[in-house]
């Protein structure tokens, strides 16, 4: 499976040693994250430090460790699908356009998100964490 993770999934894996982190680390599936959205992770660095109680250097180490399981999709690979992604998601939530563009750029992929905004579009399959758990149970 090719799974595009959204910002909240990534943040969840950083903040807590949770089911989300376990799925990313222990699953044999391919996870992707758009490069342009890395700035959102950086934006929440203070919140991550606050919620985890970890030092910044520990957060950076954990982030780098997670990148062993998540492929960052370069912006240049999203450009050709940006216009279509913007048409699909731009009026719903502009910040989610990169994830739609990423899913359009990677064949046979879907988005993992618990964000309700994705439910307002029908072009790209989006699964919630509970759905991912069900899928993995069948593996």
pTM of the model: 0.93
Over residues 22-46, the pLDDT tens digits come to 999 998 899 999 999 999 999 999 9
Mean pLDDT within 62-71 = 96
**How far is residue 87's CA from residue 121's CA, in Å, rounded to a whole number?**
10
List the domains of the chain with CATH numbers.
2-133 (3.40.50.1010)
Summarised one tens digit per residue, pLDDT across range 93-133 is 999 999 999 999 999 999 999 999 999 999 999 999 999 99
Question: What proportion of the chain, given as a percentage, has pLDDT over 70?
Answer: 99
Q: Are strands 70-73 and 30-34 parallel, antiparallel or unpaired?
A: parallel
Tokens (6 digits) for 56: 């910044």
């Amino acid at each position: 499976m090719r799974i595009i993770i959204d910002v909240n999934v990534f943040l969840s894996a950083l903040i807590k040693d949770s089911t989300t982190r376990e799925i990313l680390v222990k699953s044999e599936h391919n996870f992707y994250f758009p490069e342009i959205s890395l700035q959102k992770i950086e934006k929440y660095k203070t919140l991550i430090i606050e919620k985890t109680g970890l030092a910044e250097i520990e957060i950076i180490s954990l982030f780098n460790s997670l990148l062993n399981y998540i492929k960052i999709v370069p912006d240049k690979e999203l450009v050709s699908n940006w216009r279509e992604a913007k048409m699909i998601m731009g009026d719903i939530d502009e910040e989610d356009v990169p994830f739609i563009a990423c899913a359009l750029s990677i064949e046979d992929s879907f988005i993992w998100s618990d964000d309700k905004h994705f439910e307002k579009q029908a072009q790209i399959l989006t699964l919630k964490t509970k759905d991912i758990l069900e899928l993995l149970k069948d593996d």
